[in-house]
Amino acid sequence: MPLFATPAPKPARALHRLCLLWLAGLLGVSALPPTWGARPAPAATVPMRLPTSVVPQDYQLHLQVDPDQPRHQGEVAIRLQLQQPVPARGAIRLHARGLQLREVWLETGARRWRGKATPVDAERVDLHFGQPLPAGPALLTIAFSGTVAEHDVFGLFRQQEAGHWAVFTQFQADGARRAFPLFDEPGWKVPWTLSLTVPQALVAVANMPVASEEAARPGHKRVTFQPTPPMPSYLLAFGVGRFDVRDAGTAGRDAGVPMRFIVPTGRAADADLAAGITSRILAALEAWFDMPHPYAKLDSLALPLTTTFGAMEHAGLVTYASTLLLASPAERTPQFEREYVSVAAHELAHQWFGNLVTLAWWDDLWLNESFASWLGDKITDQVQPAWGWHTSVQRARAAAMRADRLATARRIEQPVLQDEDMGNLWDAITYEKGQTVLAMFEAWLGPEAFQTGVRRYIGRHAWGSATSADFFNALGEADPALPAAVRSFTRQGGIPRLAVTLLCSDGPPRLQLAQSRLLPLGSPSLSAQRWQLPLQVRTPAGSTRLLMTEAEATLPLPDADCPAWVQANAGGAGYWRAAYAGDGLARLAAAPGLSVGEWLALLDDATGLHASGDVDSRQALALVRAAAVHPSGEVVQAAMALLRHLEPLAAPGEQAALAAVWQAAFGARARALGWQHLPTDSDDDRLLRAALLPAVAVRGDDAGLRQQALQLARAWQADRASLPADLRVPVLTAAAHATGPGGGPVLFQQLLGVLQSSTVRTERGDLLTALGQFRQPGLPAQARAVLLQPQIDLRDSLWPLLRAQAADPAQRGEVLAFVLREQAGLAARLGGEELPRLPGLFNGACSSDEARRIEAGFAPAMARVPGGRGALARTLEAVRLCTAWRARQASGLSD
């Protein structure tokens, strides 16, 4: 929906130039290899799909774009193949949203017809020509104009950085139709020739290298890019602005890929990390696929601000949120390095997965995203082995299961039948669940055999489109049992619960196993489900495997005597939660040699099994204490997460007992680490310090740590270099909870002053998080009022501040009242893409009363935005589950 007034359209332009464009395009296309060309999309039986009787062959697209102007105009020439005649009253249907189509022409052979555009709905138009059109080749030309968005980071949009406007694009999934009329479906994979008329002084970049540049109207130039290889519309991208272009030489096999970083003026040096490491990521990917990077170049373009995404894999022109790509030396933290490398590896993996081989339709989005995350993390681990990045599988598993525990969870292979369905696709099910399922079956099949299957799939469908069935066929050649097993996870939602009973009497040691869907307390009963679980079980005597296809199974163990412990998820990548009978959980936690990944899975399983009533608080607290002393900071953080999970159970009178648990488990370690980074620290120490110190200071009620933090916060205001960027939030969080001279309202006002003057995006985000931490009377409301100042950009300001407040049960009611009261104003300043995220602020709510207020307050607005209904339903289910869980589990703190 448009959020600002649309100026009147400008006069129509003469159209005769379009034919010349097209001829020039034909010459360009004829140079492409003969195997490249359009593949018809699958039959359009879905109402939102376009008919398959009109097949686009290639595009010549010219846009006039001036970042200082809120509108753009252009012409597009689309070479078509009409598969059947179009009757006189028939139409050619294509996508256009919010565009004025000024002139429409169709040519077949020597004949030429003028067309008339009739809107079908907000997304589609019908072109009528009033004549029967013959089957065969045709050329469709359209002159159009439209609006360049300012709030939305979607479609064709502009943003300001350091006083200069720049224009960018984000077309996935259906944004291209906001920029120009087209057949906007991913299965139409065709060559594109793009030209841009832009102000003379600006830089214009796109997917391909520049083919020619010529003078246009006074003060402007026309930049024409080389034709692309076959590419879906969602991968088309360009940027126009006052950029610095940092040349990073060439990368890839035979040094064949020119690499550049395109950044806001003056920030070239901030791309140091990216410029140094990206070629290594690319080389590792080429080696994994045994195939060179598929495109002519690799540019990385910084977007000042993104909202619902961090980066986008456009062929040859990857776009990144500036905070992911760029960091000054002072802002370059271990977290920044991990984020850039893992995100870049994900986006570059897409150059094969998604770009070279594209999904035929959006219901196979998981083929892009699961693979890019799974392979991107594998490559990150290769490029930076010291980071221990292989545990990303357990992080993904935890995120996936948080989403997948809900009865409303969707499945990985999700039918996309209407525009509304598109709003729900980019989530933890597509990314993290898909990634975990791939990792699980890779572990089952073995990395080499899995890689061979994937290479076979990529080789078979290169430059074309593919479906899940194509992928399963390729995998099935490695192991015929695999496709059905993988599908048992991709075609149904939910987490398998594996009941594990060790039997040692009346025969040799064996496991009695039973699978069902894991249902958190308070879940509706669901029909019975079954998976094909690739079980890898470890006991003191060794490992055992079983592809468990039935509801129940007996697994003989290799142990001569009754084993001391059973690990029913060896490696920790299995997508099930093992519920051990008797003292099986405690025995496993005491087992020697559990890997970090196994600990992470075990601790996360404890949160899920506590929610389902399989584990009680006493068992969970014992696990927290056991894991708190683990040498790995990551395991300690998982133990902290388990303790935070238990916190809503603490009664008001148990707060001191809860703080004592924090202190007993983590206090000594926090104080030993201290607030200052040391030259001898590992990255693990630094990451743990940032997580542990504020938790112990606030949740562990450690007045000493809070006072130290207040001193550091005061010193930081005098000398901003005194605090490393990764300690800003931890120190300011703890300081916000400090009392006494210089704390409370004094510190609040000081931080507010720093926020008004700070121009560093990451620092501003940190300050907003810190402002969300103050609890003294009046300050939370003052912090929220900051968001009502018109000069604040809500898109990157609202979330850190309100998330920090909404996480506190004592604040949540006020935050909810504020968001509902200001909803319309906040929505207008956030942009449409972000609206469905608002209910998620309250996922931690835990009472029927809150559920009622959330439902009543958000339902009307969420019904109007794509994905809104689903997002609200998931929040409501989470709140109701928490309510039921709190009614049925005891805190265990008074035992």
Tell me the DSSP string of 553-569: EEEE-S-SS--S--BSS
Tokens of 498: 């594996």
Determine the residue type at 845. A
Q: Give a three-class secondary structure readout of 209-233.
A: CEEEEEECCCCEEEEEECCCCCECH
- Residue ranges of the alpha helices (H) in 384-433? 392-404, 419-422
Shortest CB 170 distance to Zn ion, Å: 13
* Cis upstream peptide for 173 (omega within 30°): yes
Name the segment binding Zn ion (CB under 5 A); options: 369-377, 591-599, 670-678, 776-784: 369-377
CA–CA dist 61, 74 (Å, integer): 8
- Residue 369 or 381: the one with the smaller Cβ distance to Zn ion is 369
Among candidate residues 75, 185, 339, 347, the one labeled active-site is 347
- Residue 299 or 432: the one with the smaller Cβ distance to Zn ion is 432
Distances 423 to 371, 414, 417 between C-alpha atoms, Å: 21, 12, 12
Shortest CB 172 distance to Zn ion, Å: 9
Tokens of 167: 């224009």
Shortest CB 313 distance to Zn ion, Å: 6
Residue 350 counted as an annotated binding residue: yes
Give the closest residue to 602 by CA, choosing from 581, 618, 579.
Answer: 579
Shortest CB 431 distance to Zn ion, Å: 7
Determine the residue type at 799. W
CA–CA dist 538, 532 (Å, integer): 19
8-state DSSP, 132: -
Shortest CB 837 distance to Zn ion, Å: 18
Shortest CB 430 distance to Zn ion, Å: 9
Shortest CB 318 distance to Zn ion, Å: 10
Name the segment binding Zn ion (CB under 5 A); options: 43-51, 239-247, 257-265, 365-373: 365-373
CA–CA dist 709, 703 (Å, integer): 10
- Residue 175 or 608: the one with the smaller Cβ distance to Zn ion is 175
CA–CA dist 815, 807 (Å, integer): 10
CA–CA dist 644, 606 (Å, integer): 12
φ, ψ at 238 (rounded to 5°): -155, 170
With CB under 5 A as the rule, give the number of residues binding Zn ion: 2
Name the segment binding Zn ion (CB under 5 A); options: 32-40, 368-376, 454-462, 739-747: 368-376
CA–CA dist 493, 366 (Å, integer): 14
Contact 531, 437 (CB under 8 A): no
Residue 369 counted as an annotated binding residue: yes
Q: Does position 372 bind Zn ion by CB under 5 A? A: yes
Termini Cα distance of the chain: 55
Name the segment binding Zn ion (CB under 5 A); options: 99-107, 130-138, 283-291, 363-371: 363-371
8-state DSSP, 630: -
Shortest CB 369 distance to Zn ion, Å: 5
- Residue 375 or 620: the one with the smaller Cβ distance to Zn ion is 375
Strand order in the sheet with 71-82: 92-95, 124-128, 111-119, 100-108, 136-147, 71-82, 54-64, 192-199, 220-225, 210-215
- Residue ranges of the alpha helices (H) in 254-391? 272-289, 322-325, 334-349, 365-383
Shortest CB 380 distance to Zn ion, Å: 14
Give the closest residue to 351 by CA, choosing from 290, 286, 306.
Answer: 286
Q: Is 347 a catalytic residue?
A: yes
- Residue 348 or 865: the one with the smaller Cβ distance to Zn ion is 348
Shortest CB 235 distance to Zn ion, Å: 12
Give the closest residue to 206 by CA, choosing from 253, 169, 243.
Answer: 169
Tokens of 232: 């879906």
- Residue 369 or 598: the one with the smaller Cβ distance to Zn ion is 369
φ, ψ at 684 (rounded to 5°): -60, -40
Name the segment binding Zn ion (CB under 5 A); options: 87-95, 366-374, 438-446, 816-824: 366-374
Per-residue contact flags (x/-) with Zn ion for residues 311 to 350, judged by CB under 5 A? ----------------------------------------
Distances 507 to 279, 555, 561, 563 between C-alpha atoms, Å: 58, 12, 11, 14
Q: Does position 425 bind Zn ion by CB under 5 A? A: no
Name the segment binding Zn ion (CB under 5 A); options: 367-375, 438-446, 460-468, 864-872: 367-375
Shortest CB 454 distance to Zn ion, Å: 16
Strand order in the sheet with 155-161: 155-161, 164-170, 238-241, 203-206
- Residue 60 or 351: the one with the smaller Cβ distance to Zn ion is 351
Position closest to Zn ion via CB: 372
Distances 159 to 42, 69, 149 between C-alpha atoms, Å: 37, 11, 9
Tokens of 357: 């081989």
Tokens of 4: 């600002």
Give the closest residue to 662 by CA, choosing from 699, 692, 706.
Answer: 699
CA–CA dist 542, 882 (Å, integer): 39
Name the segment binding Zn ion (CB under 5 A); options: 239-247, 370-378, 656-664, 849-857: 370-378
Shortest CB 634 distance to Zn ion, Å: 24
φ, ψ at 340 (rounded to 5°): -60, -50
Residue ranges in 719-738 that form contacts with Zn ion under rule CB under 5 A: none
- Residue 323 or 435: the one with the smaller Cβ distance to Zn ion is 435
Name the segment binding Zn ion (CB under 5 A); options: 201-209, 314-322, 364-372, 537-545: 364-372
Strand ranges in 509-668 using DSSP code E only, listed in sequence order: 510-517, 533-539, 542-548, 552-556, 577-580
Let me know if 292 is exposed, middle or buried by CB neighbors in 10 A (0-12, 13-18, 19+): middle
Q: Residue ranges for the binding site? A: 346, 350, 369
Residues at the binding site for Zn(2+) are: 346, 350, 369
- For binding to Zn ion (CB under 5 A), which residues are involved? 369, 372
Catalytic residues: 347
